[in-house]
Structure 1
Amino acid sequence: MATGTLTTERILEATEEMLRRHGAAKATVVDVARALGVSHGTVYRHFRTKAELREAVTKRWLDRTSQALSGIVSGTEEPEAKLRHWLAGLFAAKQHKAGDDPELFATYTVLTGENSGVVDRHIADLTGQLTAIIQEGVTRGEFTAPDPASTSRAVFDATNRFHDPAYAGEWSKPGIEPAFTAVVDLVLRGLRR
């Protein structure tokens, strides 16, 4: 394959496939290059180090969730419905990531541990989305929150069991959906004016 057709996106797709196949401990830049039909030096022209490549693929994986949820934030639902929908969307996204491809989820759990800055930015993006929803509710007189940013972080922390990978083992257990609904109902009762 010619170097001119090699894009960052194609490298990230190939990296994700190598991570799926070999796991975080065994996937190498050489594997990625081989899958793309280029030399590993060509991959290094796009990503200076293996760590930079792993960080980029981790960011790409996390950004999928943020992007999906951003549509809810900009939607036309009332703030309470929007918040409920957003929290359910986050939970569903995490359940799918863990349940649909457990090997890749385990690999990304390792990668997120290596890339705490990427994770911190992801959490900041998610709590920023929550802040926008809560601020909208305050502006419309539906929610009470003296500091929407602090409140959004509290909501994020209160629902941690339903999106933190440390709890992934619980996400498919019986009773998890009613537990999620009970926590969301509690959060919404606390926010209502």
Structure 2
Amino acid sequence: MKIAVIIGSTRAARFADKPAAWLRGILTGRTDAEYEFVDLRDYPMPFFDEVASNAWAPTQNEVAVRWQQKIAEFDGYIFLTPEYNHAPTGVLKNALDYSYPEWNRKPAAFVGYGSVGAARAIEQLRQIAVELQMAPIRTSVHIQGADFFGAWQAGAALEEMAHLQPGVQNMLSELHWWAAALKTAREAAPQG
């Protein structure tokens, strides 16, 4: 199975690189799937301006088509997201909007960071995932409060925050279960 870790911030000064490196270290030790980091910086799509969703009309923008092709490769997704004004980033929402059938019948997991661990952004992403016919899983990871501020401002290492490990492992196990189940179902009854 292939799982994408989608980095949902493109700001030059983003914090996302710290939790991405932390996750990469954790995922390196797992053998249940192939994990690939997909950085939205590598897919600079304009604001959605197509005639319709790619569920109804072919996308014209070349970068967006490349994005759709990349997203289609995976059996599940981990969205690494900050929270901007109680919401996910505009660039992540835009990327979600540029694809539709590529997301269908696949699980979504979430790792959030910020003062409340991106809890409000993740709740919105769960609703978006349902509309995209994804299966958002229950367990999320929230890097929040003192953990977030310690890593962001004081240089604390996420790797040394052992209390985050059980949540990460539970999320990954749950994601793997759903990815395997949904892959089996997609292969047995392809969407028509």
TM-score between both structures, scaled by the size of structure 2? 0.31
TM-score normalised by structure 1 residue count: 0.31
- Structure exhibiting the larger radius of gyration computed from Cα positions: 1
Between Structure 1 and Structure 2, the one with more helix by share is 1
